[in-house]
Structure 1
């Protein structure tokens, strides 16, 4: 069995069609069909149900797919990490969600560059979902995101839980409230959530806050990004729920109120490829934990 057999089978299984799989692999369909048949002969079991339309995997095929994909991811990781080790100049690509830019991420990047000037850092703004894909494709080496997700090829380290706040127009009835607002106080307000794609996103995390206390916002407006949500809040078009670090935007027509509900937190995750143990990643974690200690922020510490 060779790696190409795994790649060919995964393509067929994901596309559920030999023609589309062949196009994806840039090969003709007959050779692809022969390779799959050869794989089944080597294993001594059928992987694809004969004559099924659309294409369906057998139980053995589903098992093989579940284990083949992580193996291919590991091979890709090995290639990427070996190429990085072989380069004299260290380059690290960092993905981040927009809201972290208003928190401590700038401090983290600045300190890392001061301590490790030999490493070239490049930043890429992308959602958590986009980061997961970019990590597996080798386009970034680490990511700062907020959504919980499970992927056997990605290791996610919880850095800390950040309090969430309500963003309101200064003239809003709750803007001058002395006590923290409650989710039940906000359920009838036009709720601006972001981004509307790709999903799942931070929008789903906000909606889940209401769901956890058996509430459903009456009017949800999905917008493309954080900055648009804040602009619409400033225009009095609704309110939004954002991580506390977004208060660093200092918008003159937006006020922020703490949310009383004890589960109103947004996690910050540090994501890397599961096999990656490069020194740059360990150095970045050391910088992150040092800054958190300096600011006295509660956080968890893990090693790669």
Structure 2
């Protein structure tokens, strides 16, 4: 890290986040004097002032803000590298696939069946996550590959599109729109929409939801409606109904994985997924 040790960087990030040396020292489980010395040494090494200190407050300088932003990413990247390395060194290799429940477009059984026939295939474990958590789990080294929908943040990831789906609105049985052949967004303007946990910029005004089970329960109770991919029909119970939405853009399902991955098992999975999607 150009002369910066990971320990020093972690010390600085803790101070920069807390803006208090005492709280940062408690968080790091070290004494305050060595923490202060480490930050001063880092400033001397870099030749810049990172923190403005007074008897009343600690504040970040512009240089300190840059190091905080970059340092967080560097530490997260280092932690992810450690996780990936440990998983790659397991005696029984396997591939961890992250997806939300009912988020496979109905394709996962066919993908897994075809993948098992690949020479480089390894066992696949499926890690279910909440809405909006896929990309972070991939970047953080907790998973090797993911099935994602919509327009997620793909920073640090490669991806291939698998499936483009029209969208439906899921409503409680007996809802005023439940008997329609189709609806428009104008028909839904007064409806309560869920807020997807982990998705910045989401415009929903209803309850925050993290997974499909919670979402369907809220819809069945009449507390919200939700616009979902067409393939979600296969997972709906008898207490909700699905109606096509005519003027909402289609949604895309993709397979995504960390950049620079050289795993033959991962490459075989991505190839299998794209080939399976091409036959759908």
Offset of residue 76 of structure 1: 3.3
Partner residue, 1:182: 184
Asked whether the equivalents of residues 158 and 269 of structure 1 are also in contact (C-alpha less than 8 Å), the reply is yes
SS, match of residue 255 in structure 1: strand
Matched ranges for 1:117-156 at <5 A = 119-146=122-149, 148-150=151-153, 152=155, 154-155=156-157
Asked whether the equivalents of residues 121 and 265 of structure 2 are also in contact (C-alpha less than 8 Å), the reply is no
Offset of residue 90 of structure 1: 1.2
- Is 2:258 aligned against 1:256? no
Q: Distance in 1 between matches of 2:271 and 2:217?
A: 36
CA RMSD of aligned residues (A): 3.1
Q: Distance in 2 between matches of 1:52 and 1:144?
A: 51
**For structure 2, which runs of at least 5 residues remain unmatched after alignment?**
none
SS, match of residue 140 in structure 1: coil
Deviation string 1:129-148 (CA, Å, 9 cap, x unpaired) is 43344334433222323364
Partner residue, 2:225: 239
Partner residue, 1:280: 265
More helix by share: 1
Partner residue, 2:116: 113
Q: Distance in 2 between matches of 1:117 and 1:266?
A: 31
Asked whether the equivalents of residues 169 and 255 of structure 1 are also in contact (C-alpha less than 8 Å), the reply is yes
Q: Distance in 2 between matches of 1:252 and 1:164?
A: 19
Offset of residue 165 of structure 1: 0.4
Partner residue, 1:193: 194
Partner residue, 1:301: none
TM-score normalised according to structure 2 size: 0.81
TM-score normalised according to structure 1 size: 0.75
Offset of residue 292 of structure 1: 0.8
SS, match of residue 145 in structure 1: strand
- Is 2:103 aligned against 1:100? yes
Moved more, 161-170 or 28-37: 161-170
**For structure 1, which runs of at least 5 residues remain unmatched after alignment?**
208-216, 296-304
SS, match of residue 99 in structure 1: coil
Q: Distance in 1 between matches of 2:73 and 2:170?
A: 41
- Is 2:2 aligned against 1:16? no
Q: Distance in 2 between matches of 1:53 and 1:140?
A: 44
Q: 1:81 to 1:228 in 2, by over 3 A?
A: closer
SS, match of residue 199 in structure 2: coil
Q: Distance in 1 between matches of 2:17 and 2:152?
A: 20
Matched ranges for 1:23-62 at <5 A = 23-51=26-54, 55-62=58-65
Q: Distance in 2 between matches of 1:293 and 1:52?
A: 65
Q: Distance in 2 between matches of 1:79 and 1:123?
A: 21
Q: 1:39 to 1:238 in 2, by over 3 A?
A: closer
Q: Distance in 2 between matches of 1:276 and 1:286?
A: 14
Q: Distance in 2 between matches of 1:183 and 1:122?
A: 38
Moved more, 142-151 or 160-169: 142-151
Offset of residue 94 of structure 1: 1.9
Asked whether the equivalents of residues 171 and 241 of structure 2 are also in contact (C-alpha less than 8 Å), the reply is yes
Offset of residue 63 of structure 1: 2.2
- State the aligned residue count: 276
